[in-house]
């Protein structure tokens, strides 16, 4: 018997070692009605408070989705002109819905709700007030800075950065629609907030050999779907969230319309990618481009329409369940610290190690901006060595020898040309 009371839509599973894992699962009726949520792992051996807080995040998201799809719900105009009113209006406005992917919207709601509930001082020594209750035209740079420092002071450095990013975008996009509600002297106070620099953790990566060591081991353990997940992340640079949500379907792998390609989709930015699996030489020979990967897919069980799904055909979903399963399998196989994130970062690093241009890399990874692309490849020893060899013109011993021969040949040509010019001058 579980020693805590279970919140809505939660369940638990006791492992052989006695630990208890908690899960949240969206009811089938809501999923069939179009709810964007499936299931999530809430954590392991949680206290009652920790379980309540973890479940509340997903229950609130589901409740918000149910409210949004109710066509008879009237907008709340009683607090017109406040920050909280602006948040609610923005999250339903086309300027938000057309620019922010569905997958990212719950995070905006979560952060902006925390913004509204945060309490800060009015002036230097004034009483505390709830930020969401303030009028939009009362928010200047100093007030925006107070809110930022309130979040940063709680140790939430990443969240404090999101606060500035999300609020800045909200002010910018909603000001043209409600110009009378915003300050004339400071149309967007968030642009005046200086964000503190922080030491960002560098994610690790794994190489090709490690990925296929994991894949072979997972197949032997009867978990071909985990092997396929690792290969999709490394070879075709899919995000773990896209894999778990079913954005690589069997119908897209050597399908009737493209029998020589695999079609996948990147959920975060909505980009589709068509990767060729083979090409034909001039002599008619077919060259397989992803032979190792296709061997893994050939041993992956088809539990459902998605290449990676559970044995019952359901998707792993938005939570960390798939990532957790991959990490556990890596530990079981003795591959310490193995993860889907590291697989994807390893694939991105390989693009750079092989000397692809930034444009070629972005064609494969489907990053929309160069800035987003550049952060993935790691500065490995191989990349540094290859860059140094190219700089010094010494890509290999044979190349150095060829360069010397070419230099001698060029010198001989130069001497011959000068001699011919001199003879011509004498004849003249």
Closest by CA position to 192, among listed 132, 140, 120, 156: 140
Distances (CA, A) of 112 to 37, 91, 115: 20, 10, 5
pTM value surpassing 0.75 = no
Of the listed ranges 202-206, 226-230, 409-413, the one predicted with least confidence: 409-413
278-311 exposure pattern, b = at least 16 Cβ within 10 A, e = fewer: eeeeeeeeeeeebeebbebbeebeebbebbbbbe
Give the span between the Cα atoms of 216 and 320, in whole angstroms.
Answer: 23
For residue 396, pLDDT beyond 70: no
pLDDT in tens, 16-50: 888 888 888 988 878 878 888 888 888 888 888 88
Return the structure tokens found at 135: 């009028």
pLDDT in tens, 268-307: 777 788 889 998 888 889 999 999 999 999 999 999 999 9
Mean pLDDT, to the nearest integer, of 229-253?
Answer: 91
Distances (CA, A) of 193 to 135, 138, 163, 202, 232: 19, 16, 11, 26, 40
Q: Please, what CATH class does the domain formed by 83-192 belong to?
A: mainly alpha
208-385: CATH topology is hpI Integrase; Chain A (1.10.443)
Report domain extents, the chain: 10-68, 83-192, 208-385, 393-428
- What values do phi and psi take at 197, rounded to 5? -75, 145
pLDDT at position 76, please? 47
Return the structure tokens found at 246: 């079913």
Contact 223, 360 (CB under 8 A): no
pLDDT in tens, 153-202: 777 788 999 999 999 999 999 999 999 899 999 889 999 999 988 776 66
pLDDT at position 86, please? 94
pLDDT at position 171, please? 96
The mean pLDDT value of the chain amounts to 82
Query: In sequence order, what E strands does 112-252 have?
Result: 119-121, 128-130
pLDDT at position 363, please? 72
Residue 414, SS3 per DSSP: helix
Mean pLDDT, to the nearest integer, of 112-136?
Answer: 86
Residue whose structure tokens are 């230099």: 407
Give the span between the Cα atoms of 375 and 208, in whole angstroms.
Answer: 20
Distances (CA, A) of 97 to 14, 91, 106, 173: 40, 7, 12, 12
């Amino acid at each position: 018997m579980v020693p805590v009371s279970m919140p809505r839509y939660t369940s638990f599973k006791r492992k052989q070692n006695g630990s208890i894992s908690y899960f949240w699962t969206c009811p089938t009726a809501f999923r069939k009605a179009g709810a964007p949520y499936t299931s999530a792992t809430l954590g392991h051996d949680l206290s009652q408070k920790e379980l309540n807080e973890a479940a509340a995040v997903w229950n609130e998201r589901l409740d918000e989705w149910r409210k949004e799809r109710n066509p008879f719900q009237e907008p709340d105009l009683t607090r017109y002109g406040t920050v909280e009113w602006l948040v609610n209006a923005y999250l339903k406005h086309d300027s938000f819905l057309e620019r922010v992917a569905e997958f990212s919207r719950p995070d905006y709601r979560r952060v902006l709700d925390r913004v509204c509930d945060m309490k800060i001082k009015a002036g230097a020594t004034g009483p505390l007030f709830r930020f969401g209750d303030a009028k939009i035209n009362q928010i200047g740079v100093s007030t925006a800075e107070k809110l930022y420092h309130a979040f940063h002071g709680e140790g939430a450095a990443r969240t404090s950065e999101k606060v500035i990013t999300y609020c800045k975008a909200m002010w910018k996009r909603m000001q043209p629609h409600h110009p009378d509600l915003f300050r004339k002297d400071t149309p967007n106070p968030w642009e005046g907030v200086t964000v503190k620099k922080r030491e960002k953790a560098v994610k690790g990566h794994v190489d090709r050999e490690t990925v296929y060591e994991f894949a072979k081991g997972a197949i032997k353990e009867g978990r071909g779907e985990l092997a396929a997940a690792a290969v999709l992340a490394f070879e075709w640079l899919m995000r773990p969230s896209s894999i778990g949500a079913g954005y690589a379907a069997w119908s897209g792998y050597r399908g009737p319309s493209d029998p020589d390609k695999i079609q996948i989709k990147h959920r975060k930015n909505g980009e589709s990618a068509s990767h060729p699996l083979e090409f034909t030489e001039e002599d008619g020979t077919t060259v397989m481009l992803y032979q190792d990967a296709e061997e893994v897919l050939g041993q992956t069980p088809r539990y459902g329409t998605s290449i990676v799904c559970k044995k019952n055909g359901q998707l792993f979903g938005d939570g960390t369940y798939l990532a957790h399963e991959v990490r556990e399998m890596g530990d079981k196989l003795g591959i310490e610290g193995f993860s889907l994130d590291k697989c994807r970062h390893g694939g991105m690093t390989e693009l750079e190690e092989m000397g692809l241009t930034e444009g070629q890399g972005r064609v494969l990874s489907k990053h929309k901006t160069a800035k987003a692309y550049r952060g993935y490849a790691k500065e490995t020893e191989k990349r540094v060595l290859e860059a140094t060899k190219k700089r010094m013109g010494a890509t290999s011993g044979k190349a150095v020898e060829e360069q010397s021969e070419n230099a001698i040949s060029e010198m001989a040509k130069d001497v011959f040309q000068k001699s011919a010019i001199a003879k011509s001058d004498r004849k003249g």
